[in-house]
């Protein structure tokens, strides 16, 4: 059933030149060492779909580590071998990574389902993978360079938009694949195949997630939250009974969907800002999933999902702040407060807390206030320093901080801008404080 097809032309047209050269060099290296080399997996899938993907996965029919070391020398790359799994990672000078795996028949346990005559070591390697769309390989060695090898109907499934496992024990072997299936379904707008969906439902009946570690589940949920259309993915998980399998408290009611949808909107907006600081998107969704829960309920979930201590602290401290911040924000809106007041209300929050707060606000003007804080206020600095104030003849002390704070408020409120204006403002403050007892300025 092995299908081959020459896609050399597609490859040359679609891939960036430097990637093509890398693949050619890998193929030549394979030829020199007399081993067959293939590009496999997500890289091939995405190329056929026309989606850029720099994560190159190679499979070598032969000694993968020796191959990696040889290719690494040619590329001036660092090579990190993993002897136990006979894999290696190449890290190129530009930071690009290439994963190399070894395919050799003697390393595999023969599955009962495959008659030995049908086997090739490449096929065995691909057979252990999750879905047919991830089992395509491209031969890289001349003269076969650009030949697509398709053992499991992956091309057809990509055309039809179907996520399909290769055999009925796939989810039993690795239950995280269920969450991956949903992630790919949403990312590519594909559909989980009928038989594959039945296997998922069957796995749910067998309580398959119960044996899976919290850390692995959390890792997959996190990838889900960071991929496309997370809300639809969470809904799909819920409707298949998967969330409640992980923990009954994860089953979110329809009434929570509006909030989660707002979170999705806010995160999409924030990503478009191209800010350096990246939020932990999963935590923002988690805050949404546990909204309205009490502390014990949240703890039950963070412990089931084995949150690391720092993430627990982030969730708990943010939740402690949220109610107070929401109250103050509402007051601020009613009283028509200043930008500096807004800054004081929002600056204690983590980025995750800010995004959640923005999503949670029902009033458009308060949503806008949080977005204004994120885009215009949070990074505001001042051009006056402590030594400027010292030169004004003031002794260092609490008054310094008060003056600097007052300057910052004036900058936030747009009352002063240039360093000159800020200095003038500080001087006025200093003069009015001179000789007075130190006291808070507001």
Span of 70-78, 127-135, 203-211, 259-267 interacting with ligand CTP by CB under 6 A: 127-135
Binding residue for ligand CTP, selected from 42, 81, 161, 333, defined by CB under 6 A? 42
Q: Is residue 176 part of the contact set for ligand CTP (CB under 6 A)?
A: yes
Three-class SS of residue 291? coil
Span of 5-13, 174-182, 254-262, 403-411 interacting with ligand CTP by CB under 6 A: 174-182
Spatial CA neighbour of 76 closest among 54, 98, 56 = 98
Residue nearest ligand CTP (C-beta atom): 42
Give the residue carrying structure tokens 């069957």. 202
Give min distance, CB of 171 to ligand CTP, in A. Answer: 10
Which tokens is 179 given? 């969450």
Q: Is residue 299 part of the contact set for ligand CTP (CB under 6 A)?
A: no
Residues ≥6 apart with Cβ < 8 Å to 315:
283, 286, 287, 290, 298, 302, 307
Give min distance, CB of 133 to ligand CTP, in A. Answer: 8
Span of 7-15, 77-85, 108-116, 173-181 interacting with ligand CTP by CB under 6 A: 173-181
Distance CA 283, CA 281 (A): 5
Nearer Cβ to ligand CTP, position 18 or 55?
A: 55
Spatial CA neighbour of 175 closest among 240, 107, 110 = 240
Q: Is residue 177 part of the contact set for ligand CTP (CB under 6 A)?
A: yes
Span of 172-180, 260-268, 307-315, 353-361 interacting with ligand CTP by CB under 6 A: 172-180
Distance CA 373, CA 349 (A): 11
Binding residue for ligand CTP, selected from 61, 125, 130, 352, defined by CB under 6 A? 130
Give the residue carrying structure tokens 């001179």. 434
Give the residue carrying structure tokens 């491209």. 138
Distance CA 372, CA 366 (A): 10
Nearer Cβ to ligand CTP, position 174 or 415?
A: 174
Binding residue for ligand CTP, selected from 14, 96, 120, 174, defined by CB under 6 A? 174
Give min distance, CB of 47 to ligand CTP, in A. Answer: 12
Binding residue for ligand CTP, selected from 87, 132, 134, 302, defined by CB under 6 A? 134
Give min distance, CB of 130 to ligand CTP, in A. Answer: 3
Task: With beta carbons less than 8 A apart as the criterion, state whether 344 and 378 touch.
Answer: no
Nearer Cβ to ligand CTP, position 177 or 218?
A: 177
Nearer Cβ to ligand CTP, position 46 or 341?
A: 46
Distance CA 80, CA 82 (A): 7
Cα separation of the two ends of the chain: 78
Q: Is residue 129 part of the contact set for ligand CTP (CB under 6 A)?
A: yes
Give min distance, CB of 58 to ligand CTP, in A. Answer: 12
Give the residue carrying structure tokens 């994560």. 55
H-type alpha helices, 193-308:
194-205, 214-226, 230-239, 242-246, 257-272, 281-289, 295-304
Span of 5-13, 126-134, 388-396, 413-421 interacting with ligand CTP by CB under 6 A: 126-134
The strand pairing partners of 368, in sequence order, are: none
User: Which burial class, exposed, middle or buried, applies to 312 when counting CB atoms under 10 A from its CB (0-12, 13-18, 19+)?
Assistant: middle
Binding residue for ligand CTP, selected from 41, 153, 230, 353, defined by CB under 6 A? 41
Count the residues of the shown chain that bind ligand CTP, applying the rule CB under 6 A: 10
Q: Which of residues 55-84 bind ligand CTP (CB under 6 A)?
A: 55
Which tokens is 310 given? 């720092």
Distance CA 154, CA 162 (A): 9
Give min distance, CB of 290 to ligand CTP, in A. Answer: 26
Nearer Cβ to ligand CTP, position 42 or 81?
A: 42
Distance CA 152, CA 166 (A): 7
Q: Which of residues 399-438 bind ligand CTP (CB under 6 A)?
A: none
Give min distance, CB of 174 to ligand CTP, in A. Answer: 5
Distance CA 14, CA 49 (A): 10
Q: Is residue 196 part of the contact set for ligand CTP (CB under 6 A)?
A: no
Q: Classify strands 36-40 and 137-139 as parallel, antiparallel or unpaired.
A: antiparallel
Q: Is residue 24 part of the contact set for ligand CTP (CB under 6 A)?
A: no
Nearer Cβ to ligand CTP, position 99 or 388?
A: 99
Task: With beta carbons less than 8 A apart as the criterion, state whether 363 and 379 touch.
Answer: no
Query: How many Cα atoms within 13 Å fall on the side-chain side of residue 228?
Result: 7
Quote the crossing angle between the two packed helices 194-205 and 176-188, to the nearest 10°.
140
Q: Is residue 352 part of the contact set for ligand CTP (CB under 6 A)?
A: no
Q: Which residues contribute to the site for ligand CTP (CB under 6 A)?
A: 41-42, 55, 129-130, 134, 174, 176-177, 180
């Amino acid at each position: 059933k092995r299908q081959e097809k020459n896609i050399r032309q597609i490859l040359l047209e679609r891939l960036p030149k430097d990637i093509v050269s890398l693949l050619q060099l890998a193929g030549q290296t394979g030829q020199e060492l007399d081993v067959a080399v293939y590009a496999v997996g997500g890289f091939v899938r995405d190329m056929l779909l026309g989606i850029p993907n720099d994560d190159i996965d190679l499979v070598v029919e032969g000694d993968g580590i020796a191959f990696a070391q040889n290719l690494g020398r040619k590329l001036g790359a660092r090579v990190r071998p993993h002897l136990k799994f006979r894999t290696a990672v190449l890290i190129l000078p530009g930071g690009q990574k290439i994963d190399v795996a070894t395919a050799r028949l003697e390393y595999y346990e023969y599955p009962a389902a495959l008659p030995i005559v049908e086997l090739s070591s490449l096929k065995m390697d691909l057979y252990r993978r999750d879905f047919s769309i991830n089992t395509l390989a491209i031969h890289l060695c001349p003269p076969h360079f650009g030949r697509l090898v398709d053992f499991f109907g992956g091309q057809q499934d990509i055309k039809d938009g179907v996520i399909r496992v290769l055999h009925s024990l796939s989810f039993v072997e690795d239950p995280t694949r269920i969450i991956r299936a949903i992630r790919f379904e949403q990312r590519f707008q594909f559909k989980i195949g009928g038989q594959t969906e039945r296997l998922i439902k069957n796995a749910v009946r067998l309580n398959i997630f119960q044996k899976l570690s919290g850390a692995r589940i959390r890792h997959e949920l996190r990838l889900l939250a960071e991929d496309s259309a997370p809300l639809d993915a969470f809904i799909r998980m819920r409707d298949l009974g998967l969330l409640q399998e992980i923990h009954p408290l994860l089953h979110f009611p329809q009434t929570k969907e509006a909030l989660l949808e707002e979170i999705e909107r806010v995160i999409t907006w924030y990503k478009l800002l191209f800010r350096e600081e990246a939020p932990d998107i999963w935590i923002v969704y988690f805050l949404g999933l546990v909204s309205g829960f009490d502390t014990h309920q949240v703890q039950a979930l963070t412990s089931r999902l084995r949150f690391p201590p720092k993430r627990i602290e982030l969730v708990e401290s943010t939740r402690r702040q949220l109610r107070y911040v929401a109250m103050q924000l509402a007051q601020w809106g009613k009283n028509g407060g200043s930008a500096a007041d807004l800054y004081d209300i929002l600056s204690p929050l983590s980025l995750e807390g800010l995004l959640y707060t923005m999503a949670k606000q029902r009033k458009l003007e308060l949503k806008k206030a949080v977005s204004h804080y994120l885009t215009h206020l949070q990074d505001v600095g001042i051009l006056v320093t402590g030594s400027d104030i010292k030169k004004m003849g003031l002794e260092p002390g609490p008054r310094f901080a008060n003056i600097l704070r007052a300057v910052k408020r004036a900058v936030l409120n747009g009352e002063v801008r240039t360093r000159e204006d800020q200095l003038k403002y500080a001087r006025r403050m200093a003069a009015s404080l001179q000789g007075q007892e130190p006291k808070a300025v507001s």
